[in-house]
Amino acid sequence: MKQKETLGVGVIGSGFMGKAHAWAFGNVGRFFPLKQEPILKILADIPLDKAQAAAKQLGFESATNDWKSLIHHPEIDIVSITTPNNLHTPMALEAIDAKKIVYCEKPLATTLNDAIKMTNAAEKAGVITMVGFNYLRNPMMITAKEIIQSGEIGEITGYRGIHSEGFMANAAPYNWRCEKDQFGGALGDIGSHALATARFLLGEFDSVCGKLDTIYNSRPTSDGGSKPVYTDDQVNTLIQFKDHNFTGVVTSSWLATGWEMHHGFEICGSKGSLIFDQARFNELQIYKGDQKTGRRGFTTIVAGPEHQGYGEFCPAGGHQIGFNDLKTLEVGKLMGCIEKNIQTDFNFRDALTIVRISEAISISSTENRWVNLDEIAS
């Protein structure tokens, strides 16, 4: 069958990530050679006037307040889900049933059972899926993985990962992040990025031992009252990797006063070390153990066109790429997989793994023990 020259894109949700998806689909063809052009067809949101205004601003052909009509529209090939977390499951299952390509923001689902249901449905239907963990598309993140796998810093002996921000510090008001049915809590919200990064760099987890802490048991509401909180404010986790014989550490908190974005890692090896922080995500720090006495220290690798993904945006080093470029790189990967009719490298099965790890950490915290990933349904 001859491939379609264009693919209709429907985005559900017009908030932060909806705009990011629209930007990426609208620009991917300007930076990457595509055989199939994505066309921004329909934007869905509520109420209708909000959807119409956003559609006009973001360059969609039309708008709707009915997400099901978007999914079943004959001109829609790719369904992009950027809604509140508890809507991911019904929307994805509807799109899978309609045999559409599904691009869903993280987390895949708010419960392990729903994540399993979505993954099984997608695999049975044979549809291409992708889940939005766009920090992993960073050229410096890819460079770090290449350095690790090449043996340049020797045998890996330690890992410390973090994702901390301060937006819920000082008893910030109650919002959807405090709700369990939204996969709320620091673990499910920002902690998933730290877990995905650790897995991307060092491979699958064998077992975990975690502790979730709720510092603020209630938070103020907009009507002047307060509401109890049953989700975690921070999480600390020990990790045993399948392919490494040390215990890694991943921590996440949304009470990190003063931090706007602190997503990063420190990796130690027998011949060197790496340091990365998302706040300066065009840089990677590397230390080589063979440096001369009096000349030892970390060297800054600055992102440039020689690093995978950067050159499509800028032909010169040191000019830096931004957050929306990472999302464009992610959509570029999706479009390439669609063209080749192959599954993506962060599909529903991969996202299910992150949900399973989160489930294992929650069980570990409740039962005060190490939990093997083999104990968690898949």
CB within 8 Å of 115: residues ≥ 6 apart: 107, 108, 109, 348, 351, 352, 355, 356
Residue 77 is predicted with a pLDDT of 98
Sequence letter at residue 154: G
Instruction: Specify the CATH superfamily of domain 139-280+282-320+354-367.
Output: Dihydrodipicolinate Reductase; domain 2 (3.30.360.10)
For the cut 60, the answer to whether the pLDDT of residue 302 exceeds it is yes
Residue 47 is predicted with a pLDDT of 97
CB within 8 Å of 85: residues ≥ 6 apart: 107, 109, 110, 182, 183, 188
Sign of the torsion formed by the C-alpha atoms of 271, 317, 345 and 24: positive
CA–CA dist 9, 26 (Å, integer): 10
Provide the pLDDT confidence category of residue 1 given band limits of 50, 70 and 90. Answer: low
* CATH C-level class of 6-133: alpha beta
All CATH 3.40.50.720 domain ranges of the chain, comma separated, are 6-133
Question: Comparing 115-124, 240-249, 293-302, 327-336, which segment has the lowest mean pLDDT?
Answer: 293-302
Q: What pLDDT, in 10s, does the model give residues 78-135?
A: 999 999 999 999 999 999 999 999 999 999 999 999 999 999 999 999 999 999 999 9
For the cut 60, the answer to whether the pLDDT of residue 295 exceeds it is yes
pTM, rounded to two decimals: 0.95
